[in-house]
Amino acid sequence: MSDPANAPKRTDWQLFRALLPYARPHAWLYAIAVLCAPVSASLVVAQPWLLKQVIDEHIIPGDLDGLQRTALMFLVVVVAGFIAEALYTLALSYAAMQTITGLRKDVYAHSLKMARSYHDRVPTGRLLTRATSDIEALGETLTAGAVTILLDVMLVVGVLVAMFTLDAKLTGALLFMAPPLAIIIEVIRRIMRKLFLRVRTSLAELNAFLAERLNGIRVVQLHSDEDRTLAAFDERLSTFRNATIQTNVWDAMLFAIVDGLSSVSVAMLLWYASGGALDDIVTAGLLAAFIEYISKLFQPIREFSQKVAVIQRAFSALEKIYGLLDHKELIASGDTTLEGHTGALTLTNVSFAYGDGPDVLHNINLVVQPGEVVALVGRTGSGKSTIGKLLTRAYQGYRGSICLGEHELTDLNLGDIRTTVGTVLQDVQLFPGEVRFNLALGADLSDEALQTAIDQVHATEAVERLGGLGGRIENGGRNLSVGEGQLLAFARTMAHDAPIVILDEATASVDTLTEARIQQATQAILDRKTVLVVAHRLSTVMTADRIAVLDQGRIVEIGSHQSLLAKNGAYADLFHTQFEHGSPQKAKH
């Protein structure tokens, strides 16, 4: 299994090329920008040339008529240049935003498709950083940094051509500073690239820590762990802060160097032009034009020094983003469509290990008939929940065979599997929003179907208290009791009408009355569904048609409640140690 941290690094050019598929649908906008760029650059370059004409040919000779015509031409050039640059920037900015929107959607979609094993390892905060902060860093570059690079290059080339045309000797003297400037920019660019990678990594770790501790705030507060948590947060914050400060220092240094060289160039021009050797070729207009050209030459270079920081931040973000997109820890979907499934389920010699760890399931053999309720029991770590996870294809890599009806699980379409096998977990996940949304989750289910599911699981009272299907559930289901939340989770599964239902310790955290309601709902659907129960509660186990007892990943006993008790084996031991104490059903023993 590949690791994003050990994935081969891409060069800046490879990272840029990886963006092209996202930019291609907006090629017409980029084309507009490409057409506007040379027009804008030409009009900007023409302005100092016209300034020279104004001074040398009209102001000094006193030609007022020519001055008015040239001044009007200068105004037209300035306005036209503004319009061309505005069109260039607007087209490229809009195209850039559309480009990163497509990339953001792919990052989120890819995260949703990643296998459960990936989400087990990678903190949620790190994925949030990829989909938010890293994308924003890229967006900043495309809309405020890289979008003007093409125009800047054309402007620099145009200015140099104009300067050589006016006076090649004077221009050549000024270009002595070009090689050291290029070396300085390249050295600082490489330093900042490394620093920005450190910034993105430390920010991801900071967000991951923050998300973990805020999700577990109750544990932090109950154990008075605020000070230690804050100290650990400050340690990660310091790493991020120090890396950010270093990038700002190098950014400021580069800007100061370029800005200083601009002033030095003007000073050299004035000094050089004042020498006797140039008295016969330097006019006031030429000098004014050169000063203006130097300003226009160093303006994009000065801005480029800032864009270096933005661009390096973007390439660092892209490297992290493609580290995620290149990581293909996905659940492979088969091509076979599952139709008319009745709920039959067969496991043959199934073994499984999480990652590179030891096997947690060993040669599991189990046949579940349509409409049958089978309970999986055993001590913690015996492999009960793992079987349920494999049935929903939360994990892949099992050995042996798992069949839904006559079809091997790995051959089936992933979407069909998850609409066929419904699951109710002990840890209920409810989203802020209407009850209707939390039950349907975007599926096209009528209110009548939702209400039927609510009635089946006896959740009517809880839903009415919230205000019906349009009632709002608060963040984390805070306005519901644990039992009510569990009933809604059960109603969600019933609403989607899956032929197979897995109850993964779904009654472990509810009170006796709520458990009784869920048990009634389970009994009501036995005629048309297959129910696989992973449970510790006695009432759920005792009403199952068969009970499979797991020990260290193996099925050691299977049979009905009474037959297993009569064997006085593993199930009887579990019954006496876990189930019998305080159970209202113990009189049946």
DSSP string over 109-122: HHHHHB-HHHHHHS
Q: Answer yes or no: is 330 within a domain.
A: no
pLDDT in tens, 579-588: 555 444 443 4
* Domain of residue 278, CATH code: 1.20.1560.10
Percent of the chain with pLDDT over 90: 5
pLDDT in tens, 187-226: 887 787 788 778 878 887 888 788 777 777 766 776 677 7
Q: Answer yes or no: is 337 within a domain.
A: no
Asked if 434 and 568 sit in the same domain, the reply is yes
pLDDT band at 131 (very low <50, low <70, confident <90, very high): confident
pLDDT band at 296 (very low <50, low <70, confident <90, very high): confident
Q: Answer yes or no: is 113 within a domain.
A: yes
pLDDT band at 538 (very low <50, low <70, confident <90, very high): low
Asked if 550 and 578 sit in the same domain, the reply is yes
Given this model, what pLDDT does residue 236 score?
86
Q: Answer yes or no: is 158 within a domain.
A: yes
Model-wide pTM > 0.85: no
pLDDT mean over 478-494: 82
Asked if 549 and 456 sit in the same domain, the reply is yes
Which region among 1-10, 231-240, 554-563 has the lowest average model confidence (pLDDT)?
Answer: 1-10
pLDDT in tens, 421-478: 888 877 777 888 888 888 888 788 888 989 988 888 788 888 888 888 888 888 777 7
Asked if 41 and 106 sit in the same domain, the reply is yes
**Domain end marker among 291, 325, 359:** 325
**Domain end marker among 264, 290, 325:** 325
Asked if 384 and 480 sit in the same domain, the reply is yes
pLDDT band at 277 (very low <50, low <70, confident <90, very high): very low
Q: Answer yes or no: is 133 within a domain.
A: yes
260 or 326: whose pLDDT is higher?
A: 326
Given this model, what pLDDT does residue 366 score?
92
pLDDT in tens, 325-380: 888 888 888 888 877 666 788 999 999 998 888 999 999 999 988 888 888 988 88
Asked if 440 and 303 sit in the same domain, the reply is no
Asked if 383 and 270 sit in the same domain, the reply is no
Give the dihedral of Cα atoms 184, 189, 190, 194; nearest 10 deg: 140
- Interatomic CA distance for residues 547 and 559, integer angstroms: 5
Given this model, what pLDDT does residue 401 score?
92
Asked if 360 and 307 sit in the same domain, the reply is no
Strands 421-425 and 433-434: unpaired
pLDDT band at 522 (very low <50, low <70, confident <90, very high): low
**Domain end marker among 295, 325, 355:** 325
pLDDT mean over 269-295: 66
Which region among 73-82, 190-199, 286-295 has the lowest average model confidence (pLDDT)?
Answer: 286-295
Most confident of 37-51, 140-154, 203-217: 37-51
Asked if 38 and 183 sit in the same domain, the reply is yes
Q: What is the mean pLDDT of the chain?
A: 79
Given this model, what pLDDT does residue 518 score?
65
Structural domains in the chain (count): 2
Residue 420 has pLDDT above 80, yes or no: yes
Residue 83 has pLDDT above 80, yes or no: yes
- Interatomic CA distance for residues 282 and 161, integer angstroms: 18
pLDDT mean over 390-406: 87
pLDDT band at 302 (very low <50, low <70, confident <90, very high): low
Given this model, what pLDDT does residue 281 score?
54
495 or 67: whose pLDDT is higher?
A: 495
Residue 145 has pLDDT above 70, yes or no: no
Q: Which amino acid is at 560?
A: S
pLDDT band at 2 (very low <50, low <70, confident <90, very high): very low
Q: Answer yes or no: is 335 within a domain.
A: no
Given this model, what pLDDT does residue 350 score?
93
- Pair 262, 294: CB distance under 8 Å: yes
Tokens of 482: 């644990």
Q: Answer yes or no: is 333 within a domain.
A: no
pLDDT band at 284 (very low <50, low <70, confident <90, very high): confident
7 or 58: whose pLDDT is higher?
A: 58
Q: Answer yes or no: is 338 within a domain.
A: no
50: domain range?
Answer: 4-325
State the burial class of residue 351 (Cβ atoms within 10 Å of its Cβ: 0-12, 13-18, 19+): middle
How many Å is the Cα radius of gyration of the chain?
35
Residue 479 CA: distances (Å) to CA of 188, 214, 460, 517: 55, 19, 15, 20
Scanning the structure block, which residue is given the tokens 């055993």? 378
Asked if 13 and 98 sit in the same domain, the reply is yes
Residue 241 has pLDDT above 60, yes or no: yes
- Interatomic CA distance for residues 485 and 497, integer angstroms: 19
Tokens of 113: 């498709």
Given this model, what pLDDT does residue 540 score?
63
* Domain of residue 569, CATH code: 3.40.50.300
Q: Which amino acid is at 158?
A: G
Tokens of 423: 């699951």
Asked if 270 and 351 sit in the same domain, the reply is no
Asked if 166 and 268 sit in the same domain, the reply is yes
Which region among 275-279, 528-532, 547-551 has the lowest average model confidence (pLDDT)?
Answer: 275-279
Whats the size of the chain, residue-wise?
589
